[in-house]
């Protein structure tokens, strides 16, 4: 049996998934530029924003991973 899942764990997992998806999308755009890029696209926001989200998400996922309940 494991402890109740913390809300921070849910947040961590969601951020991790989003971070990976958005960062990969940013990296993909380096090789396949967008036809209609948004303003300031040269700053490559998806790469660094996605990476930051991924790191934050990973740290929360690990920190709040549901532990085995001590009986």
Smallest distance from other proteins to CB 38, Å: 5
Among residues 3, 30, 45, 63, the one that binds other proteins under rule CB under 8 A? 45
Would you count residue 54 as binding other proteins (CB under 8 A)? no
Region of 26 (left: φ > 0; alpha: ψ -120 to 50; beta: rest) is alpha
Give yes or no for a contact between 19 and 55, defined as CB atoms under 8 angstroms apart.
Answer: yes
Site string for other proteins, 5-44 (x = CB under 8 A): x-x--xx-xxx-xx--xx--xx--x----x--xxxxx-x-
How would DSSP label each residue in 5-70? PPHHHHHHHHHHHHHHHHHHHHHHHHHS--SSPPTTGGG-HHHHHHHHHHHHHHHHHHHTPPPBPP
Would you count residue 63 as binding other proteins (CB under 8 A)? no
Binding site for other proteins (CB under 8 A): 4-5, 7, 10-11, 13-15, 17-18, 21-22, 25-26, 29, 34, 37-41, 43, 45-46, 49-50, 53
């Amino acid at each position: 049996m494991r402890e109740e899942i913390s809300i921070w764990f849910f947040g961590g997992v969601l951020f991790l998934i989003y971070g990976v998806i958005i960062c990969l999308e940013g990296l993909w755009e380096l090789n396949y530029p967008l036809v209609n890029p948004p303003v300031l696209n040269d700053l490559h926001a998806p790469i660094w924003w996605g990476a930051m989200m991924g790191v934050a998400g990973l740290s929360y996922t690990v920190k709040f991973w549901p532990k085995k309940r001590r009986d």
